[in-house]
Each structure stands twice: as C-alpha cells, then as structure tokens.
Amino acid sequence: MSSAFDFPGGIYPPERKQRSNQAALVSAPLPMRVTLPLQQHSGQASTPCVAVGEQVYVGSIIARREGMISSNLHASISGVIAAVSASHIIIEGDGQDTWQRLPSLDWPHSAPAELLERLNESGIVGLGGAGFPTSVKARVVEQHVIHTLVINAAECEPYITADDLTLRHHPTEVLEGAQILAKLCGAQQILIGIEDNKPEAIKALNKALPNSQPVPVALKVVATRYPSGGERQLIKRLLNLNVPSGGLPADVGVLCHNPGTLLAALQAVRDGQPLVSRVVTLTGEALTQPGNRWVRLGTSVKELLTQAGLDQTSVAQVIQGGPMMGTPLLTLDTPVTKLTNCLIAATIAELPPAPAESPCIRCGECESVCPVALLPQQLHWYARAKDDAKMERYHLFDCIECGACSYVCPSHIPLVEDYREAKGRIRLQRIESVKAEHAKHRFEFRQARLAREEAEKQARREARQAQNRRPHSHASTENSEKVDLRGLRIAHAAAKASVKKAEKTLARVAQEDPKQPLDDLEMQLATAQENLRATELQLAQAREQQPSKESS
C-alpha cells in the first residue's frame, strides 16, 4: 500500500458492497420505451431538436446544449419520438437497436480543439454524481496550470460498486480515457486513488499500468474510510494539497475524473459513441439478483429493478445513489439518467427510519468527524435561526453534504437536511441578487445607448450648422467628427468590459455552485454581447465615413 497523507474526520459505516460486487458486469435488457429528461447535467437543460413521430437511432441528437454550461442529449434506443415536453422526451423503441455513431478519432494525432468538440458533441458529463459537462471542465487549462490528473476510484460510499466493476472489466480503456483528458488539460502525471477494499480492481489496474502512455501513471492505494472519495479529501490523501475554501481543485493544479467518465470519453473519441448508457449498481436486500448492469439512459427504474428480482412485499424504500448522500425515490416510475450510479432496494430492517430527533447535547461528535473541519453544531444553530450571514462566515458552502455528522449524532438531528435547506435559501437570494444586477446592467446599457444616440444627434446638428458657416465650416465639422468618434470608442470599450465581466461571473458561478440556475447570468451575458455588437457596428460605420481622420 502506498503511503498517503490524511484529511480530518471521517467515519467507518458498514460497507455492504458484497451483495453487488460478486457478479460480473452485464448489460441490462434493451428497453422498449425510454423517458429522457432534458436536465441530466449541471447548468441549463437541453433544448429539444426533434418532433413527435420522427425516426431516431441510438446516438441521434434529440436535444442540444443550451448556453455555456449544458450538454447534448442523445437517443438511447432506436425508434420513434412519442412525446416532447418542456422536461423530457419519450421514445418508443423498434427493437432494432440501430446505431448512429460519429467518425472515429485517432486521439494521439488529433488537435485539442477537435477532441473538445467531440466530448461536447457526445454529451459527456461527470458520472460520479455532479454531472458537470466534461468538455467545459477540460477547458480549465485556459485559466489554470494543471500538473496532475486524478482518477477518483475511491468509491467510498457504502453499497456502490459501479466504479469497482468498471475498473475490473475495462482498466485499459479507463487509463486510455485518462490519457485523453491529460492531453487536454496538460497534466504531467496521472494518479489513481483507490481504497484498499477493491483488490480485484487494483490487480487489474496494476496489470494495465505498463501499457498506459505517454503520461506516466501511478497507482496509490489508500485505507478505506468515508468520505475518501470527496475531491478535496482524495487530493489531500494523494498529494497533501489543500483546496482553498470556496476554491476548486484546479486552484492547486489538479483535475479529478471518475472512471466511468473516462471510459465514456474514450468511447466517444475512439468509437464515436455518445453517452447513451452507464454502469448502475443494483443492490439491497429486496433484490434477489443484485449486481452491476450496463443500462440505457431513460430506462424505467421499476422495470430495471423488476429484472433484478425486486421483492415488492419486502422493499421499504428505493434510494438513488448511496445511503449517505443519495435520495429516496418517491416513485419507481422515474428513469435512469446520466447521474444514476446506484439503486438500493432496501428492506425496513436493512435501512430503518431514523429515530425521532432530540435536542443537541453538545457532545462535539459531529465536529470530530467532519472531513472539511467545519463546525457542524454552530452551522446547525445558525441554520435553524436562518442566520445566513453567519452560515456563510462559517463556510457553509465548503460542506460536501457527506452525512458523516448526521451519522454520528446521538440526538439524531438531520444536520445535512438543515445545511441543504440553508444552501437552497442562500442560492435563491443569490439568484435574486443576480436578477437585480442584471436589471442594473440593462438600465446602464439603456442610459449609455441614449447618451450615445444624443451625442450622435448633437454631432450631426453641429455638422449641419458648420456647413452653413464660412470660413470655419471645416474646423467645426472636424470637431464634431472627433466628438462623435470619441464617444463611440468609449461606448465600445465599456461594452467589451461588460462582456468580459459577464463571462467571468458565469464561469465562476458555474464551477463554484453547479446547482445554481444560470439563466439570468446567461441572459446578462447575451445582453452585454448584443450591446457590444451594436457599438462595434456603429464604430465601424463611423470609421468608414472618415478614413482620413481615423488614419491620422
């Protein structure tokens, strides 16, 4: 085992991975009907580009990315579009499974721009849970110097074994996908961080390592502890680097990717295969045939669990994700998405309901297990008091919602629920602030436009008056022309500054808080860009009218 650094806190919940990691990775039966939500990623939902009755094939684009942070959506089965709504698209399958792939790329000899466009076209997003578009994440090199690409294979949450099985069956492909992303971000080394409870995956990786070129790859095995799979925690364990509060891994020269994401990236580049399926762990004591399946996106959860032997009489709840950070499904009539890595069909004895909450006894257990070294007890009090200013001062948004504090709380206080509710409230306030800022920019743009138009009118009036005066007509016209051009140049410079500011704000908010809606920020950017285009046109027209004055 490689030596590792350490992060504070952490817990040791029952792993319960044995139920799903014993069987081989297989493909689930092809669904005859899929429901594909338009929001399967961070940022803005995709926009449908198909109509009811249209024939589609596996890999056909059915919804295109909308805005800077978004992702394309592709048909996961061949058939006919049955319904198109504001939230999803339904396809009725023909059973033929006819594919429509993109041309294969020889990635070692392909330009970075070509590879980025392929990832963008293929709808690849992070399959570890956040769903951030991979092509956008790869562009981090435009603002940061990346020295290390980390393959996050820790998979620390109980029950989930999707990455484990992916690495057992496709280690060479995962490493090749990592080489592609390393090329795009300019990383000088690749580190694989994996917990020691995955011996078969470790063996498969060790066998594949010698053939991974050209960027050197190192495998680092760390002791099993939750939540080692958090980006900040894994970076600390592997590199002894601390991601700053409110910052990103890129701020310390690191980029993290999940094994499933890397495999999907390789399939998109090498095979021309868009993201239409993913590995899903099916587990829980209410299933008679647990395991991991390749599942087409849009497959009904109910259909999938039924195929895995769901016992309707014993299942108490179905959780999407893990027991620590996942969410219980209110209905099984919901589809598998790009973000679905695990489905737990649990009995009531397996995951009993939490006892009734009692008052905090100030034991400090929550603080001792927090992997981000926060003060959960104080955050809890401020959350209940809705003291958002103090919550932000105590770094609420550094909380990764791992659930360790709730897990050890003897008073059974749902601490993470408090933090999520507070984050949602603060995000809403930020959205309102963004709207107010947008309204302010619109007002400023309007005032600038009115001032510019008035200056142009005044210049034309002075020019007309100058033509009627002799012998000072030439000098007056020249002065009015200078005033006109100077005002346009100032307006053009201000418009360019507004566009740059809007672009930086949009990129920062999208990376810091992927859950925050970006509609208003993107509208603000569009308004700034429209104003810039208008000023560029007016300035160009003025220059064409007076080439001699501009050249001098």
Model pLDDT, residue 80: 98
pLDDT reported for residue 53: 97
Instruction: Please report the pLDDT score of residue 477 as a whole number.
Output: 47
Model confidence at 484, pLDDT cuts 50, 70, 90, reads low
Closest CA to 529 of 505, 551, 496: 496
Residue 444: C-alpha distances to residues 431, 449, 487, 521, 527 (Å): 20, 8, 16, 16, 11
Residues 341, 346, 352, 357, CA torsion sign: positive
In the prediction, which pLDDT does 494 show?
79
Rounded to whole angstroms, the Cα distance separating 165 from 279 reads 9
546 pLDDT more than 70:
no
Distance CA 320, CA 335 (A): 11
- Asked if residue 5 has pLDDT above 60, the reply is yes
Q: What is the mean pLDDT of residues 380-396?
A: 92
pLDDT band at 252 (very low <50, low <70, confident <90, very high): very high
Name the DSSP letter for residue 482: H
Flag whether pLDDT at 1 surpasses 70: no
List, in sequence order, the alpha helices (H) in 271-394. Answer: 301-307, 365-369, 376-385, 388-393
Q: Which two tokens stand for residue 292?
A: 């991991």
* Cβ atoms 150, 234 nearer than 8 A: yes
* Cβ neighbourhood burial of 199 (10 Å; 0-12, 13-18, 19+): exposed
Q: What is the pLDDT of residues 311-342, one digit of tens each?
A: 999 999 999 999 999 999 999 999 999 999 99
pLDDT of residue 432: 84
Q: Would you state the pLDDT for residue 520?
A: 67
Amino acid of residue 109 = H
DSSP H or E run through 495 = helix 473-512
What is the chain's mean pLDDT, rounded? 89
- Residue 238 phi, psi (nearest 5): -90, -40
Three-state DSSP class for residue 83: strand
Could you write out the DSSP letters of every residue in 162-205? HHHHHHHH-HHHHHHHHHHHHHHHT-SEEEEEEETT-HHHHHHH
- Quickly state the pLDDT bin for 513 (edges 50, 70, 90): low
- pTM comes to 0.81
Share of the chain above pLDDT 70, in %: 92
Rounded Cα–Cα distance for residues 162 and 363 (Å): 36
- Alpha-carbon distance 189 to 200, whole Å? 24
- Distance CA(321)–CA(297), nearest Å, equals 16
Range of weakest confidence among 49-58, 226-235, 353-362, 493-502: 493-502
Picking from 200, 221, 197, 217, the residue whose alpha carbon sits closest to that of residue 209 is: 217
Quote the pLDDT of residue 506: 75
- The percent of the chain in helix, strand and coil, each rounded to the nearest 5, is 45, 15, 40
Q: Specify the length of the chain in residues.
A: 552
Give the per-residue pLDDT at 480: 46
Residue 435 confidence (pLDDT) above 50: yes
d(CA 183, CA 223): 30
pLDDT at 467 over 80: no
> Which percentage of the chain shows pLDDT scores above 90?
71
Looking at residue 475, its pLDDT comes to 47
- Of the candidates 290, 302, 280, 285, the residue with the CA atom closest to the CA atom of residue 346: 285
Give me the pLDDT at residue 317, please.
96
Question: What pLDDT shows up at residue 295?
Answer: 98
Question: For the ranges 31-35, 175-179, 281-285, 420-424, which has the lowest average pLDDT?
Answer: 420-424
Average pLDDT over residues 402-431: 93
The H-assigned helical ranges of 209-258 are: 231-239
Q: Stretch 10-17: mean pLDDT, rounded?
A: 96
Token pair for residue 313? 């009489």
Residue 130 CB contacts under 8 Å (≥ 6 apart), including other chains: 42, 514
Per-residue pLDDT at 169: 97
- Between CA 276 and CA 265 the distance in angstroms is 12
Phi, psi of 79 (to 5 degrees): 165, -150
Please say if the pLDDT value at position 479 is more than 50.
Answer: no
Q: Which two tokens stand for residue 5?
A: 């650094």
Range of lowest pLDDT (237-246, 290-299, 520-529)? 520-529
pLDDT tens for 437-447 read 778 777 877 77
Distance CA 90, CA 81 (A): 6
129-172 pLDDT tens trace: 789 999 999 988 888 999 999 999 999 999 999 999 999 999 99
- Calculate mean pLDDT across residues 204-211: 95
